[in-house]
Amino acid sequence: MTRRTTIDDVARLADVHKATVSRALNPRTEHQIGRETVERVRAAADKLGYIPNAMARGLRTANSMTIGVILPDLTNPLFPPMVRGIEDYLEPRGYTALLANTDDNEAAETAAIGSLLARRVDGLIVASGHSDFAALAEARDAGVHAVLLNRDAGGVRFPLVGGDDANGIREAMAHLTDLGHREIVHIAGPERLSTSVTRREAFEAACAARPDVIGRIVEVPSLTIASGFEAMTAILGAGGKRPTAIVAGNDLIALGVLRSLRAHGLSCPDDASVVGFNDMLFAEDFTPPLTTVRVPTLQMGREAARLLLDIIQSGEQPTADVRLPVSLVVRGSTAPVRP
């Protein structure tokens, strides 16, 4: 890699001091410099293909124009839209996102935070919040600004941008009861995830408000297809009355439920209705197309980035969390209960 052009090269060619080059090329200080000089500097910079070194600038200005994004697994379809939303907001503002996958694993969380702090990120967007995210405290101690995305964290308090999960469950339950369902099982995600708790509580509240509805909760250890499959298989294997509807903790669980139903020779929605959560990619292409709660993941990413940049620029912590509206999308996996 041949030596890159530096500000001194440009200064020499334009026959000015490098400080002048710096000012001429920075939109915020450009007005301090004579019109003609700016032109000359620009011409020189263009000619040499000068691209300022962001590391040198960052070292001097003490901000890296870089945002760390911590998520469990990019391969989980929930996250790419969030990341895209974040990047779309950051990019035109000169910021770059640094991604770190944690796989819900404490060692990786610690490593991720360490790597991001070493790169002196100006802020953190944490989409992998859970109740015992110890490494997050390190970031807090380092004075890094952070915003939580989708999932709340336990110990460390940062503002949260999420969807209105409780309302999503309410709508799902209203839809199912309208269809005549009275025996409903909620397959809930692990308690360490705030979204699981919110959804479960909303489910319980909805049942409490409708004494004719018999609600039951099954908790699974992870929000995966496998967990959904196993939970549904257990439900079908157990004796007693089969529920007529399932409210899954998320779409992956719902997909596992669909697969289990199929494996048992049962039909959805004829033998059981299923509702998912998130409206992830391809939810409409499953067999049957999934009725689910749409969460505006792309917009959530944008909002998180916006909130974080606001915090960085103002230096103030915001007062309240941001809850974006969700909406029920009715498709083929729900139907009136069979007589």
Applying CB under 7 A, the residues found at the interface with DNA are 3-4, 6-8, 15-20, 22-23, 25-26, 29, 32-34, 36-38, 50, 52-53, 56-57, 59-62
CA separation for the pair 144, 64 (Å, rounded) = 12
Which H or E element spans position 176? helix 165-178
* Beta carbon nearer to DNA, 37 or 224: 37
Pick the binder of its own copies from 105, 115, 267, 317 (CB under 8 A): 115
CA separation for the pair 17, 153 (Å, rounded) = 50
Q: Return the closest-CA partner of residue 151 out of 108, 120, 191.
A: 191
Count of residues that bind its own copies according to CB under 8 A = 53
267: amino acid identity, one letter: S
The answer to whether 265 contacts its own copies (rule: CB under 8 A) is no
Q: Return the closest-CA partner of residue 161 out of 248, 69, 281, 253.
A: 69
Which of DNA, its own copies, none does 19 bind, CB closer than 5 to 8 A by kind? DNA
Rg (CA), the chain: 26
Pick the binder of its own copies from 33, 45, 70, 83 (CB under 8 A): 83
CA angle 78, 75, 99 (to 5 degrees): 90
255: amino acid identity, one letter: L
Q: Return the closest-CA partner of residue 319 out of 307, 329, 330.
A: 307
* Beta carbon nearer to its own copies, 30 or 284: 284
30-49: contacts with its own copies (CB under 8 A): 49
Which of its own copies, DNA, none does 7 bind, CB closer than 5 to 8 A by kind? DNA
Q: How far is the CB of 91 from DNA (least distance, A)?
A: 19
CA separation for the pair 9, 21 (Å, rounded) = 10
Helix (H, G, I), strand (E, B) or coil at 185: strand
The answer to whether 56 contacts its own copies (rule: CB under 8 A) is yes
* Beta carbon nearer to DNA, 38 or 148: 38
Per this entry, what is the length of the chain?
A: 339
Which of DNA, its own copies, none does 18 bind, CB closer than 5 to 8 A by kind? DNA
* Beta carbon nearer to its own copies, 55 or 208: 55
Which of DNA, its own copies, none does 180 bind, CB closer than 5 to 8 A by kind? none
CA separation for the pair 203, 211 (Å, rounded) = 13
Task: Give me the residues that bind its own copies (CB under 8 A), please.
Answer: 1-2, 4, 49, 51-56, 58-59, 64, 73-75, 77, 79-81, 83-84, 87-88, 91, 96-101, 111, 114-115, 117-120, 138, 141-145, 255, 258-259, 281-282, 285-288
